[in-house]
Copies of this chain bind each other. A is one copy, B any other.
Amino acid sequence: MMKTPEKLFFTALGNDYRYRILTLLMKKPMSVNALAEKLGIEQSNLSHHLKCLLDCRFVEADVKGRTRIYRLSPATKELVGSTKKYINYYGGYLKKCGMLS
């Protein structure tokens, strides 16, 4: 069904866990375990989301012993900073939209 880049982009960022992963990694790189604790999410679910973010190059990872440390890819830092501004601006209106709620 060949989705558009626009659709893929907003769908990727439009999941709360994925977006929270990005904001957590803004602060510092983290292992899967550490992320799972912070998010209160099941390990396998988290792994699925991390794979998605990795495929999309929103994050990078390197192997450290048997753990994997995830970090934001450079371009993503700017992206997250920029979107935060808009979310703040539109936030109040968005919650009044019946179609989305």
List chain A positions with a Cβ less than 8 A from chain B.
3-16, 19, 48-49, 51-52, 55-58, 75, 79, 82-83, 86-91, 93-101
Contacts and interface: CB of A to CB of B under 8 A. Distances in A.
A10 B11 CA distance: 7
B6 A19 contact: yes
Contact of A12 (B49, B52, B88, B100): B100
Given A48-B99, A51-B99, A100-B3, A94 B12 contact: yes
Contacts of A55: 93, 96-99
A10 B5 contact: no
Contacts of A11: 10, 14, 100
Sorted nearest first, the 5 A-B pairs with minimum C-beta distance are A10-B14, A55-B97, A5-B91, A8-B94, A52-B99
